[in-house]
A = this chain, B = another copy of it.
Amino acid sequence: MSRRPGQLHLNAFLMGVGHHEAAWRLPESDPHAEVDVEHYKNLARIAERGKLDSLFLADGPVLWDQVGRRPSGVLEPTVLLTALAGATERIGLIATASTTYNEPYNLARRFASLDVISGGRAGWNIVTTANLDAARNFNLDHLPTHRERYERATEFVDVSLKLWDSWDDDVVLADKASGVWGDQEKIYPPEHNGKHFRVAGALNVPRTPQGHPLLVQAGSSENGRNFAARYAEAIFTAHQTLADAQEFYDDIKRRAAEHGRDPDHVKVLPGIVPLIGATEAEARELEAELSRLIRAETALPILAELLGVDIADLRLDEELPANLPAEEEIEGAKSRRTLVVNLGRRERLTVRQIIARMGGGRGHLTFAGTPAQVADAIENWYDNGAADGFNIMPPVLPSSLTRFVDEVVPILQERGRFRTEYTGRTLREHYGLPRPANRNTTTKAAAPAALRS
């Protein structure tokens, strides 16, 4: 491999006391921390100490599991990130929110508010929420189809972009003498009249420091890739092998170019679950300890739902059944299903072993090793065109994040792979992305590619 120029981008994906299913059972873990704002402030400060580009919170408007299984409280991310904005100064703040169960005016406004309050550090991870139980919290009896959800998502983002551009950057005159505060001519009401949404008026938040929040996406299905190539400025993705990650990376960059966008303005960040030890053996021991703490009986229903099969169809100490529903038949997380099936088949894993692998990272790459080995793995994917950076998913929080920041980041910095100080103020600056011009004041030809539709 040859050394690729430029620097990595690193995002800290925070989740309760860690991404590992059983992290809460470790002696070190606080089993109440998942709803403790001080816990998250501490994590945010650790990530900022490491000069990471951003931190990120997943979300769904639903109680995900049986509460017997693991910590189940999830504070609403736009609210929690606002608290974290006050505890940090530079790090980007990315919140997940659903286009299926929100209204554009409300959500665009909340993200605009977060962008203003944080001084330009807000990002939106756009999801369509593939979960029947969530649908049942919003007047529905069925999960809208994958296609319907993406159709609504597309219009939702279009309306949001119109709302974020509904104030020009220079509306405010603040002319005290004449008593004229703003220039009404520079307000552009969307007057949007679409299939899913009719939104007439301008937002009641001025254009934000970033123009609009960074748009992030994580779908890897055909619909998901098209959506990401059109709108996403950063993509969180899950791959188990370098080859799969390269295929995805090339495909996304190609699709973005087809949409007339600069491929470098779409940052691809695969997830990695780093299990870090002073020695490889120590890292493996942590991995084994966490695997021992998974209760298969609570994890089995999750796997069955992902695969679209009955629990009774799965045998813990056998491989996956030969006949599984095809990706086309799944209305949920399509690409995640295929990733798990391929992993099981390729490595001939038993259901119990799959659960152990899933319990670590839910399909994301789990990597156990020394800090230098983790840094090597990250560089390897970066140099081989599989990633612009990584979505770091600490298996145990705060300890795995602390080790990553204090032990892996310095190696990447020494090797010239990662910043030693923040050079920008906004999330978009950290990712090397331009501030979009207001598309109401630029011609189509001159508009930044990210805003074309």
Contacts and interface: CB of A to CB of B under 8 A. Distances in A.
Given A79-B117, A117-B79, A68 B180 contact: yes
A63 interface: yes
Nearest to A29: B176
B203 A171 contact: no
Interface stretch (A103-111, A253-261, A349-357, A360-368): A103-111
Interface stretch (A133-141, A241-249, A283-291): A133-141
B87 A181 contact: no
A137 B181 contact: no
A453 to B, nearest CB: 20
A113 B61 CA distance: 13
Nearest to A67: B182
A76 B203 CA distance: 11
Contacts of A117: 37, 75, 79-80, 83
Contacts of A183: 67-68
Given A73-B205, A103-B138, A139-B198, A171 B67 contact: yes
Nearest to A136: B200
A60 B61 CA distance: 23
A328 B12 CA distance: 56
Given A68-B183, A117-B37, A199 B137 contact: yes
Q: How many copies of this chain are found per oligomer?
A: 2
Q: Name the residue among A37, A79, A86 with the largest chain B CB count within 10 angstroms.
A: A79
A240 interface: no
A187 B136 contact: no
A333 interface: no
Contacts of A174: 24, 31-32
Interface residues of A, number: 75
A138 B105 contact: yes
A62 B184 contact: no
Nearest to A171: B67
Interface in A186-224: 187, 197-206
Interface string A49-86: 00000000000111110111111111110111011011
Given A67-B187, A105-B61, A116 B200 contact: no
A5 interface: no
Contact of A181 (B69, B103, B172, B176): B69
B79 A110 contact: yes
Interface in A23-41: 24-27, 29, 31-32, 35, 37
A322 to B, nearest CB: 32
A116 B179 contact: no
A114 interface: yes
Contacts of A197: 139
A295 interface: yes
B109 A176 contact: no
A188 to B, nearest CB: 11
Contacts of A179: 22, 25, 293, 295, 298
